[in-house]
Amino acid sequence: MTHVFHRNPRAELPVAARGEGPYIYDTSGKQYLDASGGAAVSCLGHSNSSVAKAMKQQIDGISFSHSGFFTNQPMEDLADFLVKRAPANLDRVYFVSGGSEAVEAALKLARQYFLEKGETSRTRFISRRQSYHGNTIGALAAGGNQWRREPYAPLLMSVPLISPCYEYREKKNGETEWDFGQRVAGELETALLDTGPENVCAFICEPVVGATMGAVPAVKGYFKRIREICDQYGVLFIADEVMCGMGRTGSLYAVEQEDVAPDILVTAKGLGAGYQPIGAMLVSEGIFTTIVNGSGFFQHGHTYMGHPVACAAALAVQHYIEDNDLLSSVRHRGAQLAEALTSRLGNNPFVGDIRGRGLFQGIELVADRMTKEPLDPSLKIHAKIKSAAMAAGLMCYPMGGTIDGQRGDHILLAPPFIINDGHIEEIVDKLGTVIDEIVGSLP
């Protein structure tokens, strides 16, 4: 009997024993191809020896020093690395232990920034439907995933939600891609005017949506319009790159491909690639100096922020990616994966859409391709796909209930940046067989 309170206590989980490249092995020796990087985390695969070496070296030096007493070299070096490659306005980094912590920090910083500027009525945030920003109370409130919010709704601050830039479902017949992007971005202005712009701190969204929609990038021009609206009303733009950042979409920061700079950017998963828990908040100089010249203190923090071993691991991960030009691999392998998925699954009557960017690909399943009617949620197709894939030795990340809190099944793929031709073939073969088997039994 286990004494662990597993998130899903009824599930019988295999015991992970070791990892090698893109594979995980359980204690029985069974091999699993990690095609989702866990949840878009393990971007280097498993057992990378240069990361392990950097961590060991750091532990042999100093394994922990509280950030209220000391800075540490890996934290300084990692901040330097991230800032040198970030949009030009972002030049300070605040380290935490994961994505939700990074989002909480961003929400609180936005509020404190306006307080210090004397704009005290700014307390509200605006976000999008079908978004996810983390599971802590503030981050959960900021997200639009109804299923995750529902049990805690009475505890959550109220956040106006606008439409996501979700071309497959939101673009009207006959509307151009450009007009669609401008229309849905324009909803931000409407929400701002409804809420009173003087009451709003920030708009938060994922540049490429991950967990709730399965790798959905915005259309061209959307983020430029979002930036314009934020500037017009003096509202901060927070880019949540917890899942899509750190190279996952083919550029270190996903916003690079949108040609806009947010005021705050949060990132986590791929930053430490799972070797250590770490998240980061990148902040514009304007926000930073407002705090420095105001109260001089950001009134928020956690015990493990700037953990030296976590920072050393993340720095080694990021150097490895750069030294081995893995962002080119992400672009090249991403295109190859998208093409292979389309050729294997593109004609499947239950596959409505295959989309994504880089090694961040999503497959949306539907009951009817013409009407885009989602599958019956009681069938729990996403859960069946996950179990069948695990039985076949494949890790993928299927989700359900993402459209209106009840319906909508999709599968997210986020394999390590080191995958080769053989791994892509294995992902597509196994996933194709699993989907055929599960949806093949539908009427």
Applying CB under 6 A, the residues found at the interface with ligand PLP are 39, 98-100, 103, 132-134, 206, 210-211, 240, 242-243, 268
Residue (of 271, 264, 289) closest to 41 by Cα position: 271
Nearest residue to ligand PLP, using CB? 99
C-beta closer to ligand PLP: residue 134 or 181: 134
Q: Compute the least distance from the CB of residue 130 to ligand PLP, in Å.
A: 12
C-beta closer to ligand PLP: residue 226 or 242: 242
Q: Compute the least distance from the CB of residue 134 to ligand PLP, in Å.
A: 4
C-beta closer to ligand PLP: residue 132 or 180: 132
Residue (of 239, 200, 273, 249) closest to 47 by Cα position: 273
Q: Compute the least distance from the CB of residue 211 to ligand PLP, in Å.
A: 5
Residue (of 47, 34, 16) closest to 394 by Cα position: 34
Q: Compute the least distance from the CB of residue 294 to ligand PLP, in Å.
A: 28
From residue 410, how far is each of 40, 287, 345, 355, 362 by CA, in Å? 15, 38, 13, 11, 7
Please enumerate in sequence order all residues whose Cβ is within 8 A of that of 218, keeping only pairs 6 or more positions apart, or say none. Answer: 165, 181, 207, 208, 258
Cα–Cα distance, 99 to 310 (Å, whole number): 14
C-beta closer to ligand PLP: residue 206 or 426: 206
From residue 161, how far is each of 22, 146, 191, 266 by CA, in Å? 37, 11, 8, 20
C-beta closer to ligand PLP: residue 211 or 351: 211
C-beta closer to ligand PLP: residue 115 or 412: 412
C-beta closer to ligand PLP: residue 132 or 253: 132
* Token duo for residue 394: 């494949």
Q: Which of 223-234 are b and which e, b meaning 16 or more Cβ less than 10 Å from the residue's Cβ? A: bebbbebbeebe
Q: Compute the least distance from the CB of residue 222 to ligand PLP, in Å.
A: 17
H/E stretch holding 16: strand 16-20
In residues, how long is the chain? Answer: 443
Q: Compute the least distance from the CB of residue 198 to ligand PLP, in Å.
A: 28
Q: Compute the least distance from the CB of residue 208 to ligand PLP, in Å.
A: 9
